[in-house]
Amino acid sequence: SGCGSSISSQFSFVPTASTNPKAALKSKIVAEFRPQSLIDELLLYKRSEDQIELKEKQLSTMRVDVCSTETLKCLKGKA
């Protein structure tokens, strides 16, 4: 009957960053995380996606004969 309380007190220890190198590394990573470069990359990606969408819309409204090599040369010159 007295055993249960002594076992639970033995397992109540929670490792802290100072005693656990893995936890210390995680804390350091979280503390030093600067999301700005990720944000910049995502913005560039979004801009690129927007450009692709715009060009697709422009092409669909132009109704270009894609079999015409002359038309394709003109389009390529504008890109």
Closest listed residue to residue 79, CA positions, set 71, 37, 36: 71
Q: pLDDT band at residue 20, thresholds of 50, 70 and 90?
A: confident
- 2-19 average pLDDT score: 52
Is the residue at 70 inside a domain?
yes
* Length of the chain in terms of residues written: 79
Which residues are CB-neighbours of 71 under 8 A, at least 6 positions away? 64, 65
E-state strands within 1-79: none
Whether the predicted model's global pTM rises above the 0.85 cut: no
Contact 15, 25 (CB under 8 A): no
Residue-wise pLDDT tens digits, 21-73: 899 999 999 888 889 989 999 999 999 999 999 998 888 887 766 677 777 77
Token reading at 74: 């003109």
Quote the number of domains for the chain.
1
Which domain range does residue 45 map to? 35-78
Is the residue at 51 inside a domain?
yes
| Confidence at residue 14, expressed as pLDDT on a 0 to 100 scale | 53
